[in-house]
Amino acid sequence: MFSFLDKAFILKFIKFGAVGGSGVFVDFATTYVCKEWIKIPKYIANAIGFTVAASWNYIFNRIWTFESKNPEIAWEFFRFFGVSLIGLGINTFILWLLVSKFKMNFYLSKLFAIGVVMIWNFVLNLLVTFR
């Protein structure tokens, strides 16, 4: 098991954060194009952005963060995407709560939701997907 002070754990978290940062760009860009240009409803646009970013993140986390050599790529992706789908539920709930109930800006709320879900995704992917 990892210790929170273990250098390997910290390095994985930093790499995960870097991949996630690129995923945030992919997520926001996809969400923006879907919502503002294509005029897809905001929560569906959010789901599309999140899904595209989750796929992007899987590829780079597999190669760089976790350096997975698992030959069962489809099964590994299925686990990663399952964790991400639960994260999408958490993300969407937080987004709905902050926008609808607290009247916060959609994109600021989305950024906060992404931060919460990043912690969820890292821990579950460390323990379940790339074990």
pLDDT tens digits, 95-112? 999 999 999 999 899 889
Local confidence band at 3 (pLDDT 50, 70, 90 cut-offs): low
**What is the Cα–Cα distance from 87 to 66, expressed in whole angstroms?**
19
Q: Residue 17: in which H helix or E strand, if any?
A: helix 7-32
Inter-axis angle of helices 42-60 and 106-124, nearest 10: 40
Please answer whether residues 110 and 28 qualify as being in contact, where contact means their C-beta atoms are separated by less than 8 angstroms: yes
pLDDT tens digits, 62-84? 999 999 999 999 999 999 999 98
pLDDT tens digits, 10-53? 999 999 999 988 998 999 999 999 999 999 999 899 889 988 99
Q: Residue 80: in which H helix or E strand, if any?
A: helix 73-96
